[in-house]
Structure 1
Amino acid sequence: MVTDLSSFRIDNRYVKLPKHFFSHVQPTPLKAPKMVCFNDELAREMGIDPGEKEDWTRVGAGQELLEGMEPIAMKYTGHQFGMYNPDLGDGRGLLLWESYGPDGRHWDWHLKGAGMTPYSRFGDGRAVLRSTLREYLCSEAMHHLGIPTTRALFMITAKDPVMRESIETAAALMRVAQTHIRFGHFEYAAYHQGPEAVKTLLDHTIEMHFPELLEVPESERYVRWLEDVVSRTARLIAQWQGVGFCHGVMNSDNMSIIGDTFDYGPYAFLDDFDAGYICNHTDQGGRYAYNQQPQIGFTNCQLLAQSLTNIMDEDDLRRALRRYETVYNSSFQQVMMKKLGLEQQGEEDMSLIMDLFSMLHENHIDYTLFFRGLSTRHTRGNAPVRDLFVDRSVADRWLERYEERLASENRDPAERDAAMCATNPKYILRNYLAQEAIQDAQQGIYQTAHKLLDVLKRPYDEQPDNEHYAALPPDWGKHMQISCSS
């Protein structure tokens, strides 16, 4: 039994919305649960004593609810691979409660793998070890890269068998975030409940997660909100592109209203650079390929705007949507200039950047190793970059242009290297590293995952004892495609 909950308060606000936004559901207990990973650092932020981590095992298994928990499955809809699906909702997860930590931050507690809900459709409401560990690893990796994301407080495994392509181990994840409201919540309200429901949800969202807008006159409040959501989305995807992250399934029901990276499924970080890389095995048409993510981000913002047409002026909607291209382009350029160590904008910068992407693509160069090598030129020279190329003259031609561009600035080279190393990670969650952790975990060996998490906590640091985590992946570990099955 969890004993000390004195450091945070409970205030379940979402359940005060009209009842059609959710269903009350009790979790279906798992058998013989075991705590696999517990996020001590995050627990402290949330006001939880990490020393009591084992006490949370029964909660994670759905065997115990604490006083104040009101488990609900959220109802939403959304566009999946471009087609509207009215039957979506929390099909295997429950929002257990909402808490406030010592710093005043609001946290949703969402238990993934809690059993069937009215929105499970043909699913069993369970999660498996494979996908649960992948989400735990990646959400923490993204957080430590400085990219907005949901996070994982803990995960458990259990004895229950779960049938996917084969029999797999059951697991559950306690995902936490400032909110679990998605673009799809607004689509559901607009297309199934009407304008009043949209307005109710919008007012709730602003009050909870955009309180600064309560000071804005009502006539401007909604458009300012949409501009903010559009801008957050554009900045997020610019950050994804900068670090080489592929989400894999950018359906509108997987888009957070506050601009968090949300719903980790068939994701991947780029290895050998391929602009059209598809990480999702089921994405046969490449709708969510790496180079399509910026456009899909805008498409999802359009879908959100369409759900607001009955409560907002169309000119205001268009005005807000225009923010996307402006914010994305400026954010992407800022991201890339930091990666290249440039402080002042130059007329030819975008040409230098786009030619760089073409070079990486045509020569299949490891994305992360290239930028990390570029970040240590003051001490190590060009060798770490040149050695990535079969034809080193290709690298030399671009490096010569880059050197000329650097000469137009007065920045100290050592200072530039330090700034670039703080921007270009050495350690990312390569798919093969996640796969090795999963394979060991399926044998009951969790140390591999724990060690990997420790490395990913310091992605920008030199870690001499962990160099092998930064090496080129083996051939079997490149260009892996992951199934949506979880």
Structure 2
Amino acid sequence: MNSPSSPYRPDPAILALGDAFYDPVKAADFPQRILRFRNDRWAPAMGLGDLSDEEWVRHFGRFAPLPDNLPEPLALRYHGHQFRVYNPDIGDGRGFLFAQLRDGDGRLLDLGTKGSGQTPYSRFGDGRLTLKGGVREILATEMLEALGVETSKTFSLIETGEALERNDEPSPTRGAVLVRLQYSHIRIGTFQRLAFYDLADEMRALTAYCLRHYYGEVDVDAADEAAPGRLLGHVTRMAARLAASYITAGFVHGVLNSDNIAITSESFDYGPWRFTPYWDGAFTAAYFDHAGLYAFGRQPEAIYWDLAQLAGALRTITPAESLTPTLEAFPSAFQAELQTHICQRLGVRPRGTEENTQLLIAIETALSEKTVLIDRFFFDWRGGRLRAPSDFYDGSGFGAFRTLVAAYEPAIPLDHPYWSDPEPCLMHIEEVEAIWSRIDEADDWSALHDKVTAIRRMGEAMAGA
């Protein structure tokens, strides 16, 4: 996404798909609406930067329609595999699509919600979001954006004045409604639902819609027999990039179910996420992930598995043999993306494939000894040179890395003040809990705002701004 100011450009394109893909719903009527966070960096990019706080709350707390946009919220229909078990009883259970807009580059984006009330897919849930969950999503999206991960943006967080009961945190706890900005809320699970009901015409229409609005194929037709293969190719390429960026960032999403993989392969929907302090392939984020299915080192495998479910759904409208080669290209695409992302975070210019592979192996080998934090390592070696003496790297485990990295050139200047800080900007669970405790106990939001400022400063340094 680009963030410069842009005019407001509404485009409720999803209405062209028809009502087989969504259900009109109403937002909950909250007892209070206290604005806690508005993304004043991304609002101007959507032409919404000039909204007053009162107008902001009217649209993103009461959900009055934006001008010339969706006349009413839409709960999207989808299925999905959850921890490898197919579930046909899900959909937007506590969220909806609120609006669609074009950014400065003409790309279509969605404004969707989390915690906006019950829908036909809520089952036994209350359709609400805890305030702590909203705060955690702000921290996750800001940190991932700074680290170069393609992620949704937390656009708005409004406290609702409700006391919620939850099994996994002290209750009652405060309620909130969140609005996220992302390129698409259509998921792999959206295609799985159409395959489940054998809705071939709808599958073709959705395939064309995704190619047209998310992958630039403006003239694609629903009757195009090659369209499913091209869509899978686009999604596979972007999914390889997503998996590589997670590993490079040290991020563990926690719930990489097929209903949580967007058709744009943009990271979104943050529940039990964590950043692993050390390069630990078995590190998990979700307390209920007893088998480590979505552990740090298994995330590429999980995303690949979800891609296979997309391919399986697309077999409704195209032969399997036209999809298999594209799907099988994922492992090599992931390795190429991982090399690229590692070089980017290290701040060096990539070299040949063989040299990049050797460097990657050396980094993984050294960090696997767990003698230094992931963030500390990339901070200290930014530009490929150790910027200050440190005992962390005296051991034999870093010998191969030291030799290999000496051949690499810095990619960007290191003149941003961030690189002179004594410590890198981190996002480990202890700090997340401390930020929330200050909000919960004293309604003190200063730590959250200070952290967002620090993260964005790091992001500027990472980008060479």
Q: Same fold (TM over 0.5)?
A: yes
C-alpha distance after superposition, 1:379-419 (max 9, x if no partner):
73441633xxxxx4x2xx2443233324556x4x7978779
Report what 1:265 is aligned to.
Answer: 271
Q: 1:253-292 residue pairs with structure 2 within 5 A?
A: 253-292=259-298
Structure with a larger share of its residues in helix: 1
Q: Is the 8 A contact 2:8 2:46 kept in 1?
A: yes
Q: 1:61-460 residue pairs with structure 2 within 5 A?
A: 61-62=61-62, 64-67=64-67, 68=69, 69-165=71-167, 166-212=171-217, 214=219, 218-340=224-346, 341=348, 343-345=350-352, 347=354, 349-375=356-382, 378=385, 380-383=387-390, 385-386=392-393, 392=394, 394=395, 397-408=396-407, 411=409, 426-442=424-440, 443-460=442-459
CA distance in 2, matches of 1:376, 1:298: 32
How far the C-alpha of 1:15 sits from its partner, in A, is: 2.9
How far the C-alpha of 1:255 sits from its partner, in A, is: 0.1
RMSD: 2.7
- Number of positions where the alignment pairs a residue of Structure 1 with one of Structure 2: 445
Q: Is the 8 A contact 1:23 1:73 kept in 2?
A: yes
How far the C-alpha of 1:304 sits from its partner, in A, is: 0.4
Q: Is the 8 A contact 2:371 2:392 kept in 1?
A: no
Identify if the C-alpha distance between structure 1 residues 11 and 403 changes in structure 2 by more than 3 Å, giving closer, same or farther.
closer
How far the C-alpha of 1:329 sits from its partner, in A, is: 1.1
CA distance in 2, matches of 1:415, 1:226: 34
Letter in 2 for 1:48: L
C-alpha distance after superposition, 1:262-288 (max 9, x if no partner):
111111112133221011111011000
Identify if the C-alpha distance between structure 1 residues 107 and 337 changes in structure 2 by more than 3 Å, giving closer, same or farther.
closer
Task: Report the 3-state secondary structure (helix = DSSP H, G, I; strand = E; otherwise coil) of the residue aligned with 2:301.
Answer: helix
Higher mean displacement: 115-124 or 309-318: 309-318
Task: Report the 3-state secondary structure (helix = DSSP H, G, I; strand = E; otherwise coil) of the residue aligned with 1:214.
Answer: coil
Higher mean displacement: 372-381 or 8-17: 372-381
Task: Report the 3-state secondary structure (helix = DSSP H, G, I; strand = E; otherwise coil) of the residue aligned with 1:380.
Answer: coil
Q: Is the 8 A contact 1:184 1:252 kept in 2?
A: yes
Identify if the C-alpha distance between structure 1 residues 108 and 362 changes in structure 2 by more than 3 Å, giving closer, same or farther.
same
Task: Report the 3-state secondary structure (helix = DSSP H, G, I; strand = E; otherwise coil) of the residue aligned with 1:70.
Answer: coil
Identify if the C-alpha distance between structure 1 residues 203 and 380 changes in structure 2 by more than 3 Å, giving closer, same or farther.
closer
Letter in 2 for 1:115: G
Q: Is the 8 A contact 1:149 1:262 kept in 2?
A: yes
Q: Is the 8 A contact 1:22 1:73 kept in 2?
A: yes
CA distance in 1, matches of 2:53, 2:431: 26
Q: Is the 8 A contact 1:33 1:58 kept in 2?
A: no
> Which is bigger in relative contact order (C-alpha 8 A, separation at least 6)?
1
Task: Report the 3-state secondary structure (helix = DSSP H, G, I; strand = E; otherwise coil) of the residue aligned with 1:115.
Answer: coil
C-alpha distance after superposition, 1:122-169 (max 9, x if no partner):
100001101111112211222222211111211100211111132111
Identify if the C-alpha distance between structure 1 residues 461 and 11 changes in structure 2 by more than 3 Å, giving closer, same or farther.
closer
Q: Percent identity?
A: 28
Report what 2:8 is aligned to.
Answer: 8
TM-score normalized by the length of structure 2: 0.88
How far the C-alpha of 1:97 sits from its partner, in A, is: 1.9
Identify if the C-alpha distance between structure 1 residues 127 and 230 changes in structure 2 by more than 3 Å, giving closer, same or farther.
same
CA distance in 1, matches of 2:63, 2:326: 46
How far the C-alpha of 1:376 sits from its partner, in A, is: 6.8
Report what 2:3 is aligned to.
Answer: none
C-alpha distance after superposition, 1:229-272 (max 9, x if no partner):
11100111101101111111000000010110011111111213
Higher mean displacement: 369-378 or 313-322: 369-378
How far the C-alpha of 1:344 sits from its partner, in A, is: 1.9
CA distance in 2, matches of 1:378, 1:237: 27
CA distance in 2, matches of 1:291, 1:379: 27
CA distance in 2, matches of 1:103, 1:342: 27
Task: Report the 3-state secondary structure (helix = DSSP H, G, I; strand = E; otherwise coil) of the residue aligned with 2:179.
Answer: strand
Identify if the C-alpha distance between structure 1 residues 454 and 281 changes in structure 2 by more than 3 Å, giving closer, same or farther.
same
Task: Report the 3-state secondary structure (helix = DSSP H, G, I; strand = E; otherwise coil) of the residue aligned with 1:284.
Answer: coil
Identify if the C-alpha distance between structure 1 residues 339 and 178 changes in structure 2 by more than 3 Å, giving closer, same or farther.
closer
Report what 1:472 is aligned to.
Answer: none
Identify if the C-alpha distance between structure 1 residues 50 and 440 changes in structure 2 by more than 3 Å, giving closer, same or farther.
farther
C-alpha distance after superposition, 1:354-382 (max 9, x if no partner):
34323323335311102211227757344
CA distance in 1, matches of 2:404, 2:453: 37
Identify if the C-alpha distance between structure 1 residues 146 and 415 changes in structure 2 by more than 3 Å, giving closer, same or farther.
closer
Identify if the C-alpha distance between structure 1 residues 319 and 29 changes in structure 2 by more than 3 Å, giving closer, same or farther.
same
Higher mean displacement: 47-56 or 116-125: 47-56
TM-score normalized by the length of structure 1: 0.84
Identify if the C-alpha distance between structure 1 residues 98 and 339 changes in structure 2 by more than 3 Å, giving closer, same or farther.
closer
Q: Is the 8 A contact 2:113 2:180 kept in 1?
A: yes
Higher mean displacement: 168-177 or 337-346: 337-346
Identify if the C-alpha distance between structure 1 residues 344 and 78 changes in structure 2 by more than 3 Å, giving closer, same or farther.
same
Higher mean displacement: 60-69 or 112-121: 60-69
CA distance in 2, matches of 1:162, 1:403: 52
Identify if the C-alpha distance between structure 1 residues 159 and 189 changes in structure 2 by more than 3 Å, giving closer, same or farther.
same
Q: Is the 8 A contact 1:374 1:384 kept in 2?
A: no
